Structure 1
């Protein structure tokens, strides 16, 4: 009984944090309007305390990702405008994959092991598919923006995919997104005027954001054509889970 109570402390704490985030409307501080209003203040703080600023930014990003809270893309834009492309890309890539891995491990600890033992027959096909090419399933899910990150983290936590495979698959799958948004963030300072908004850097950055899903889809189709069997076969986790409902 005591172990059962301890088991639920973690998820209850997460629910409390998410509830506080929503109740106090903290998302308002992760908006472009807020950035434009306080950008000079943030920029001066980052200039005076560069290491501390990066650490604060890292843990903010890690918290949002681990708890699957909204505002991650906006936070990348903020980082690009304050720190530049390379520092933002490095920090967000590390924090992003670490936060996702924590959420993945939480899902496995709370639900994955129990469900695997409770319904072994239902997960047999899932485990077989993951063993064969789990990295490709994960990469597909990460690159296609139609799948929310929270769903991917929770879903993969229910499978037998290795932590190292999840880590590197997430790192590779999220890298293009982080690169595009970090670059777009460096152009935000030019949005103070109409001519600035029409500059080549701004236009190209936001064109990349708009075209990214289509480019990924074309690339995955070509990659899938080289596979000996369909990517989303009967053993794919998404296919199996959808079939259960």
Structure 2
């Protein structure tokens, strides 16, 4: 097998992921919405009541696909987990599915692009290399803070970890732990959707950016970064 064939084989999963992401954004954007959830809530509840295990498995599979292919509707999926399964095990289903989807993205990007990009970064001599080295020396605090602070796009955090060569085990546990607070918030909102539907209202999907929620998340992010600051202080 020549080098071009090998490269094409490595890039095929990434190309497939991007193709599905584009098609999903075009054809599924009207189905992965709060309005769609509201219209189909009775059917979903009926299916859950009659097929609990199957509904949980299908939900986790669907949520994983949404994250893996960067499809629209991740926030709605989190609400759905709370609506169908309550705060617990809804939050566990949400966090587990989001983590598995992130691992798929991480693995595909690392296999297709990360090795070459990392080699170029290492061979460079500039700000990008210094940033890469700084993150690599403080992987756990940086990874946790990216997950805890909702302003960092979830997909971007997956790309950064893949390109910088983060180990799979470290990526998995920092992703799982780091998204728990935000996942619990959205699941909690979803668990109260029954009352929201009854009032004919829409849930506040921006709740995670409200001060009483964002404040504790930023506090946790700073706590995750504390070892980094302490290390710098000790060196000084």
TM tier relative to shorter chain: 0.7 to 0.9
Per the TM alignment, residue 34 of structure 1 is displaced from its structure 2 partner at its CA by 1.3
Cα distance in 2 for partners of 1:132, 1:156 equals 13
1:119/1:223 CA distance change after superposition, 3 Å: closer
Corresponding residue for residue 165 of structure 1? 170
- Give TM-score scaled by structure 2 length: 0.84
Q: How does 1:140-219 map to 2 (within 5 A)?
A: 140-194=145-199, 210=210, 211-219=212-220
Cα distance in 2 for partners of 1:162, 1:12 equals 23
Q: How does 1:1-245 map to 2 (within 5 A)?
A: 1-24=4-27, 26-122=28-124, 125-126=130-131, 128-194=133-199, 210=210, 211-221=212-222, 224=225, 227-229=229-231
- Give TM-score scaled by structure 1 length: 0.81
Number of residue pairs aligned between Structure 1 and Structure 2: 224
Contact 1:130/1:161 (<8 A) preserved = no
Per the TM alignment, residue 221 of structure 1 is displaced from its structure 2 partner at its CA by 4.0
| Runs of 4+ residues over 6 Å off in structure 1 | none
Per the TM alignment, residue 62 of structure 1 is displaced from its structure 2 partner at its CA by 0.6
Contact 2:141/2:225 (<8 A) preserved = no
Cα-to-partner distance string for 1:66-121 (whole Å, 9 max, x where unaligned): 12222111111012111212121121221111111121121211111112223423
Cα distance in 2 for partners of 1:7, 1:69 equals 23
Q: Which runs of 5+ in 2 are unaligned?
A: none
Q: Which runs of 5+ in 1 are unaligned?
A: 232-245
